Amino acid sequence: MGGKRFSGWGLPSGDLFLAAGPCSAESEEQVLETARALADSGIGFFRAGIWKPRTRPGGFEGVGAPGLAWMAKAREATGLKIGTEVAEPAHVEACLEQGVDLVWIGARTTTSPFAVQALAEALRGTGLPVLVKNPMSADIGLWIGALERLANAGLDRLGAIHRGVGSSLEMRYRNAPAWRMPIELMRRMPDLPILCDPSHIAGRADLVPAIAQEAMDLLFDGLMVEVHPEPPRALSDAAQQLTPTRFLEMVARLVRPSESSDSVDFAKQLGALRESVDEIDGQLLELLGRRMEVVREMGRIKTEQNVSTLQPHRWQEILQDRVRRGEALSMSADFVQQLMQSIHEEAIRQQEIRRVDGAQ
Ligand code: PEP
Ligand code: MN
């Protein structure tokens, strides 16, 4: 379990695979200072962004190739392996020149199969370990597709990094954790090592440890964390970077649960609770089936009267009412909204089947 899936990568991997370092390399001093502070932390590699593809132009866009030379110096000084993000073939070339130990593909790049294919060609034959961040949108196909393009180019040390996805909803975090995505990736590619990037999910330093712990509870193999010696002065992502001290404190506090337990009592209790869950799920599905029956009948009478399937005012009322009731039952507004949206979408589909069939 855990970091063992990184064995064979030629990188230090304790039980937990950790990557840490600044969002961006900013100066030789900053790179060296951060790497020195992390030298004995047991991390698998020291990260720093060299080319920073920001969502919008005008911000700090990275120091470029000279930053790689600073990272190589940091490796010499500390013995830490080094890794950075590549977004185009020229970046791969520059990394190869400095003997970078690992590269990753950023969330913006994973979104484009053209860009990923170009990187796969540039990486072909290098044998470099490559990590792929999930795309900006919640499209697991693009994530898996990128991993497949790299595998097809003969790269066999591949891993994934989950960094959450952007959302238009107002929320606590910079990026929605969207845990269902990495959970689905683990189900489909059980041998693929997968890290969590709590920094980009959180967007705020004080929220990073809780997300890192959640990743442990979800059996991630490790973490990639942004660490800066003076976060408020960082040129990019200042709000979410931890100081080296806070990073080490966080790592020391992480609890790593295992997937199972030998306790007989526990197995009994869990078995009974699972039976309850199975039964409740059965009831839920039956209820949903009944709801759909009613909905189909509504579809029938709407068709008769030439009334539209979508009833915007009614839908607005339902959503507000169910979110309020869900909150009273300790469920998040986000969850209830998504649940009701799924149910509503299926209800519309069922009404439309009738309409389209009836029209034939
Ligand atoms: C980064 O790791 O600094 C970065 C730019 O992340 P992402 O691609 O997840 O936005
Ligand atoms: Mn960053």
CATH of the domain at 280: 1.20.59.10
pLDDT at res. 170:
61
Of 221, 253, 285, the domain-final residue = 253
**Is residue 3's pLDDT more than 60?**
no
3-state secondary structure of 5: helix
User: What pLDDT is attached to residue 144?
Assistant: 98
Q: Are residues 246 and 286 in the same domain?
A: no
Residue 2: the pLDDT is 45
pLDDT at 59 over 90: no
Q: Which domain holds residue 235?
A: 2-253
Q: Give the range among 120-124, 166-170, 320-324, 331-335 with minimum mean pLDDT.
A: 166-170
21 occurs within a structural domain: yes
pLDDT band at 169 (very low <50, low <70, confident <90, very high): low
Does 213 share its domain with 121?
yes
Q: Tell me, yes or no, whether 300 and 202 share the same domain.
A: no
Q: How far is the centre of ligand 2, averaged over its atoms, from the C-alpha of 226 (Å)?
A: 7
pLDDT at 233: 97
In terms of domains, do 30 and 146 share one?
yes
184 and 41, same structural domain?
Answer: yes
* 225 Cβ neighbours under 8 A, 6+ residues apart: 18, 19, 20, 197, 198, 199, 208, 212, 242, 247, 250
101-142 confidence digits (pLDDT tens): 999 999 999 999 999 999 999 999 999 999 999 999 899 999
Q: Residue 1 above 50 pLDDT?
A: no
Ligand 2 mean position, distance from CA 83 (Å):
14
Report yes or no on 258 lying in a domain: no
Q: Does residue 13 carry a pLDDT above 80?
A: no
Residues 227 and 276 in one domain: no
Say what the pLDDT of residue 211 is. 98
Q: Residue 268 C-alpha to ligand 1 middle, in angstroms?
A: 44
Model confidence band, residue 28 (pLDDT cutoffs 50, 70, 90): very high
49 close to ligand 1 (CB < 6 Angstrom) = yes
Of all atoms in ligand 1, which is nearest to the CA of residue 224?
A: 2
Q: Is residue 313 part of a domain?
A: yes
Amino acid at 321: D
CATH number of domain containing 158: 3.20.20.70
pLDDT at 223 over 90: yes
Query: Is 259 among the domain residues?
Result: no
Question: Which of 253, 276, 299 marks a domain boundary?
Answer: 253
Centre of ligand 2 from the C-alpha of residue 294, in Å: 49
* 200 and 303 fall within a common domain: no
The lowest-confidence range among 6-10, 228-232, 303-307, 349-353 is 6-10
Token output for 276: 């309850």
- Tell me how far apart the alpha carbons of residues 302 and 31 are, in angstroms, rounded to a whole number: 66
Residue 260 domain flag = no
Give the count of domains, the chain.
2
Residues 39 and 88 in one domain: yes
Give the number of the ligand closest to the Cα of residue 163. 1
What's the DSSP call for residue 133? E
Whose Cα sits closest to atom 1 in ligand 1?
23
